[in-house]
Structure 1
Amino acid sequence: MPSILVVTIVHDPEDSRIRHRQIPALLADGWQVTYAAPFAAYDRPGPLLPGLRTVDLPRAVGRDRVPAGKAARALIAAEAPRHDLVLVHDPELLAAVTGLGLANLVWDVHEDPAAALVAKDWLPRPLRGLIGWGWRRAERVAERSHRLLLAEYAYQERFERPHPVVPNTVLVPDLVPPPGTARVVYLGTVTMARGAREMVEVARLLAAATDAACRVEVIGAARDEESARLLEAASGQDLLTWHGFQPASVALDLLPGAVAGLSLLHDLPNYRHSRPTKIIEYFAHGVPVITTPLPVAVELVESAGAGLVVPFRDPDAAAAAIVELRADPDRAARLGAAGHAAAKAAYDWGSAGAEFTATLRGFLREG
């Protein structure tokens, strides 16, 4: 029975890729799993599952990242020899384990840190370019020392060697209801760069256009103070419903029957070559997508015939698209059904989960 240590100090312990896809796949495949994450910092209980052990770590947030890195280094140094593999999910952890000589470490690459620096308000702007350049060099060093898993095929361009890809697919229900007319949903962490201001304005416009018959529901925690302030104010004015963080089982149950799912990401480097998982979740639950024109998002939506594309930072266009869908239930139903079919055919974790565990077992055979 193989064993694996899964570590994050950045991600919410309820992160869908880690907690709700990879860990269940590992347990089902017969692995003994130790999951180390910032449970207390996020106020999340450790899951109680057969074969799973949890360890609490500090959270790395903003500029206060050193204590979490030190705690993670100590834990990995102690636990790595007791596990067949160590699967880390944060680039910070690569720096934290420098010098430990770990031959069994795997880095799950599900972000582009260098591209994401432009949205890090806690990092001084003059340093972002220099740190991004240094990170690109560090990535090339990391791939010579450790095995890598990539969450996006486009990430391969950042590296010299080929690496296996485990995309962010989702669990797809067999049956979903058609879109309704009363709700618009957003699923995921909320930031200004992910369209917090636009979503509040869409809610305001929809309330006026539909006489409050259609409401925006935001499902997810706010990561920055400005987003939290906007959502709290809009919720206080009864313009929208902000559910805050919800466990995956609760959050996904809020999607079916929505007239549209929003993905109003801004035009930033980190988003241009990433596939928004929220779009796949909307597909899976038969919800038409309204997305900004990021290249991968447009290709997803247009190839599936499952949604509408609106300009960046244009809440008027997003609200108008929602009004169009409400006025044409047959069209909304076609878009929702097309998304569900696309998710079932190409984005179902039911197939990808087996590929994920097989890849890790392959790493074990390589030694």
Structure 2
Amino acid sequence: MTIHDSAVPALSVWVALESPTHHVPGVNGMMDLVASEVEGLPIAVERIPGRDGLGDSLVLRAGVDNGEKAVALMSHLDTVHPVGTTAKDLPVRVEGDRLYGPGVYDMKGGAWLALQAFKDAAKAGAARRPMVFLFTPDEEIGSPTTRGLIEDIGGRSMAVLVTEPAREGGKIVTARKGVGRFEVKIEGRPAHSGSRHADGRNAIREAAHQILAVEAMTDYSRGITTTVALVGGGTAANVIPQHAWFSVDCRVTTVADGAAMEKRILGLKPHDPDVKVTVSGGMNRPPYEKSAEVAALYEKARAIAAASGFDLQDCPMTGGGSDGNFTAALGVPTLDGLGIDGDGAHTLQEYGLIPSIAPRRALIKGLLETL
């Protein structure tokens, strides 16, 4: 069954404008689209220039200025798919009740529907407190240029609503693992692999030992995972490799485990004493735990959803991080996964479910007006 929805043409424009994190024209083009949507409305717009080769951020403000803490919405407009994806591997299209395209699920669909809810609430003038909406350009690489802004706005708010995609058939997120990122660089000693083999110290061999040690740190019973997913080294087939490197992704469920794992990974020691091992990085996102305040905010959201005719559920702590990790770690009640339902984030089968747009838009409007 084909489901027609007035949201589809407008959202399709957003999805068709490709905006991978490091493609500044695309990311800033997305910020232009947001700014153009609120022209003439009772919404103030602040544009913050990007830095370090990344795109701009946009802050929208509306609602009453009554001295109360704000309700904050947060969305990112960068994606992971390279420019050209829509032309070949993942064209923007509707198939049944699915809208396909790069970033539609993670998270342009959520950003778009939340903007409509923000506009609806601003025009209605029914909000009890100020409303702030932050759009960022760099979440997909860990928010290196916007973490301070996220924490500043979040810390001044009574609640934060993050429009990352829904999980498992529409569930929202009330807890996320913390995320650590590390780079391991190894320096050995080069030598001819035929005539001077014994003189060399193989950096790739050392990397193999270190990778096995890092992977062995995974402890499913404690919710700790360590992953080596990028690796490189060497110069030629007949040279003992002098250099090698690999990256480490670490996920934890508690702040204490994050500190412990950071110490373990930064403290890696060479297996071969003639080889140098250098580790950099650390915990990038603190864990986002389901506190009593988060649980209370979730129950309010459930009541609003029930009034709109759907049963809102949350999911167990998810392994992926988001900007909600930063605000939750400040003790600010945070709800995440409020965006579009669908599947296929970061893949060439990514889609959003069109029927999920209207109820989730109504949920966010309800939260903005009643918190």
Report the TM range for the smaller structure's normalisation. Answer: under 0.3
Q: Comparing both structures, which one devotes a greater share of its residues to helix? A: 1
Q: Is the radius of gyration larger for structure 1 or structure 2?
A: 2
Higher relative contact order (CA 8 A, sep 6+): 2
- TM-score w.r.t. length of structure 2: 0.27
Task: Tell me the TM-score normalised to structure 1 length.
Answer: 0.28
